[in-house]
């Protein structure tokens, strides 16, 4: 009997290194599928439908919500973003693992729809280090950084919702911890 795929939900405050860790995990486990969200916003010049997002009309997205076809969704700045329940179910039923990079609110919705999800929260080593990382990026105004830090504290306060918490104090160690979680879940020995 083919094993059912796992759904790995990864959340973190901005600047904790979540995207980097997900990229590194996918290099080690190229057979894991990265979930592509649906959105009603217009594609940016470099974005491709089905690669960056599944771009759909607002009415179509709302119909999917009403029909219970979205595992999680949110409205952000007048646009909808979400994950297709059908796509997730079809993928994991084939024994394929799926990686989702979503916020705390989305993670909670996902776990309501699919309680067997493996939840992983990426923590910075400290608030001071997170602030330093955000400032080092050089992409945000001081006001935006202040807002990101406020949101980060709120997100970090919800880390106990997650089954696993990985502190990203060094890339090599954090990747090793992430790989250990996935390997344990795949081998059926994760605690």
CATH number for region 7-187: 3.40.50.300
**pLDDT, tens digit, 9 for 90 and up, residues 97-119:** 999 999 899 999 999 989 999 99
**Is residue 92 within 8 Å of 4, Cβ to Cβ?**
yes
**pLDDT, tens digit, 9 for 90 and up, residues 137-182:** 878 888 988 988 998 999 999 999 999 999 999 999 999 999 999 9
Concatenate the DSSP letters of all residues of 140-171 into one string: S-HHHHHHHHHHHHHHHTTGGGSSEEEE-SSH
> Residue 137's pLDDT is what?
82
Mean pLDDT of 87-91: 94
**Is residue 7 within 8 Å of 117, Cβ to Cβ?**
yes
Buried b (16+ CB within 10 A) or exposed e, 14-24: bbbbbeebbeb
Query: How much is the mean pLDDT over the chain?
Result: 92
CA distances from 3 to 34, 37, 98, 113, 185 (A): 19, 24, 13, 20, 12
Per domain, the residue ranges of the chain are 7-187
């Amino acid at each position: 009997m083919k094993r059912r795929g796992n759904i790995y939900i990864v959340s973190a405050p901005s600047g904790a290194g979540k995207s980097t860790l997900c990229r590194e995990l996918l290099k080690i486990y190229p057979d894991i599928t990265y979930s592509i969200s649906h959105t009603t916003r217009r594609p940016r010049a470099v974005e491709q439908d089905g690669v960056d997002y599944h771009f759909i009309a607002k009415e179509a997205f709302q119909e999917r919500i009403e029909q219970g076809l979205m595992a999680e969704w949110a409205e952000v700045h007048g646009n909808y973003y979400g994950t297709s329940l059908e796509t997730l179910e079809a993928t994991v039923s084939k024994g394929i693992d799926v990686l989702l990079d979503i916020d705390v609110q989305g993670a909670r919705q996902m776990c309501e729809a699919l309680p067997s999800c493996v939840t992983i929260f990426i923590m910075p080593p400290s608030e001071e280090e997170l602030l330093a990382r955000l400032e080092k990026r050089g992409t945000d105004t001081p006001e935006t950084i202040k807002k990101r830090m406020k949101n980060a504290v709120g997100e970090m306060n919800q880390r106990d919702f997650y089954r696993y918490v990985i502190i990203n104090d060094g890339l090599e160690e954090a990747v090793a911890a992430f790989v250990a979680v996935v390997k344990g879940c795949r081998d059926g020995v994760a605690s």
